[in-house]
Amino acid sequence: MQAQRVVVTGMGVVTPVGTGVESFWQGITSGKSAVGPVTQFDASAFPTRIAAEVRDFDPAKYMDRKDVRRADRFVQLAVAASQEAWKDANLSEINPERSGVLVGTGIGGMGTLIQQYDILRERGPERVSPFFIPMMIANIAGGQLAMRYGLLGPNATVVTACASSGNAIGDAMRTIQWGEADLMLTGGTEAVILPIAFAGFCAMKAMSTRNEEPEKASRPFDRERDGFVMGEGAGFLVLESLIHAQARNAPVYAELTGYGRSADAYHIVEPHPEGIGAAFSMRQALRDAHLAAGDIDYVNAHGTSTSKGDLAETLAIKDVFQDRAYRVAVSSTKSSTGHLLGAAGAVELIASILAIRHQTLPPTVNLDEPSAECDLDYVPNQARPARIRRIMSNAFGFGGQNATLIAEEFKQDAQ
């Protein structure tokens, strides 16, 4: 059986730089960062006191107030972003048995876990909420979305740390290609701006401590980078087989053509120093898309603003692209949004698809002086017009798990 072509017909985001695709696009092309002081808890005792928060988010705009009380923040963000995507795709009648959900999250309902543990410790087991478990488990976002939209088809949750939503989208693409579904709602969500998460990442010395200049803290590939900045948010896409999208005359943003995944098999948190696993993931995606590296116009890098991570990814890009590496545009939108952990891959694929739509390269902000080893075209500080036909988006996670996606400008008659 010939694999089905897979197209993107709807997108939705809730991010620190904006909610909704147009607001988000304006945010990541503005040359500004959404990082600021932490407001969700008292961070004064922590080495890192900054984050990229989704401010003024009101889940009651997207859910009944009763449902809000019974949903962790990571689910609330997922519902909001998925609703944007569903509306954007202009879906009405669907075949529920041919429609499914694939969600990525790195951590799930940690906020609920901590809250209910405190209740257990302070007030006893009889006061723990009966909704504790279904609020906390990582797969509940996918379950909630299936119930909300009546999707009876494939439903799964991917947990591969910061590669989670990249893997989820790739797996959703495969689900349609292999004929298991006609439509998949897919993406990622994360909300762990919490004291315990900060304590853990601070203990690892993984986060930036540029507390006095938060808007300059996330600076991928820059000589002065000193760690990532935690963010939160969600990004969701509606994927359809081309046949299904054409049957309902749906506008198409882009076509997904390549998916690669790999493992570094090296270290629990550090990337392979030569970027071997990342390079293999990129090559797999190119092979899947039947493309050469020279066919890619833009790479949305994982680019977290960590010393080892940015260097390893740069080396991987050089390995894959060879001489072309110095002519392909590369940028990290985490410089604007912070690192959305398990939601990063989805949000950054949406950024990349919007780059195709607007024929504009989103910048790497705060890139004032690239480190000596990071010498590619990272689109520093200002968005730039460009001819963009094909993009590559990377998402890499702790444990050495890597995901790469390729999307292309949609052409009706492509083979």
Q: How much is the pLDDT for 412?
A: 82
In angstroms, the CA 337 to CA 222 distance is 16
Q: How much is the pLDDT for 414?
A: 59
**Contact predicate 394/282, CB 8 Å:** yes
Considering the chain, tell me which residue range(s) the CATH 3.40.47.10 domain(s) occupy: 7-247, 259-408
The structure tokens listed for 227 are 């760690």
**Contact predicate 156/102, CB 8 Å:** yes
Average pLDDT estimate for 229-250? 98
Q: Residue 194 is which amino acid?
A: L
**Contact predicate 296/391, CB 8 Å:** yes
Average pLDDT estimate for 228-248? 98
* Span 342-396, pLDDT tens digits: 999 999 999 999 999 999 999 999 999 999 999 999 999 999 999 999 999 999 9
What is the set of active-site residues? 162, 302, 339
In angstroms, the CA 90 to CA 324 distance is 39
Q: Would you give the distance in Å from CA 111 to the centre of its chain? A: 20
Does 415 score more than 90 pLDDT?
no
The structure tokens listed for 65 are 């107030």
The structure tokens listed for 28 are 């990541």
pLDDT band at 152 (very low <50, low <70, confident <90, very high): very high
Could you list the beta-strand ranges (E) of 16-67. 18-19, 36-37, 50-51
Give φ, ψ of 48 to 5 degrees.
Answer: -105, 125
Does 168 score more than 70 pLDDT?
yes
Q: Enumerate the β-bridge partners of residue 234.
A: 14, 189
150, 175, 179, 238, 252 from 243: Cα distances, Å: 21, 15, 11, 14, 12
The structure tokens listed for 131 are 């909704």
* Span 290-315, pLDDT tens digits: 999 999 999 999 999 999 999 999 99
* Span 72-121, pLDDT tens digits: 999 999 999 999 999 999 998 999 999 999 999 999 999 999 999 999 99
Does 2 score more than 70 pLDDT?
yes
Average pLDDT estimate for 264-288? 98
For the 7-247 domain, the top CATH level (class) is: alpha beta
Render 72-112 in DSSP notation, one character per residue. Answer: -HHHHHHHHHHHHHHHHHT--S--GGGEEEEEE-SS-SHHH
- High-pLDDT (> 90) share of the chain, %: 98
SS3 204: coil
What's the whole-number average pLDDT of the chain?
Answer: 97
Q: How much is the pLDDT for 413?
A: 72
For the 259-408 domain, the top CATH level (class) is: alpha beta
Does 280 score more than 90 pLDDT?
yes
pTM of the predicted structure, to 2 decimals: 0.98
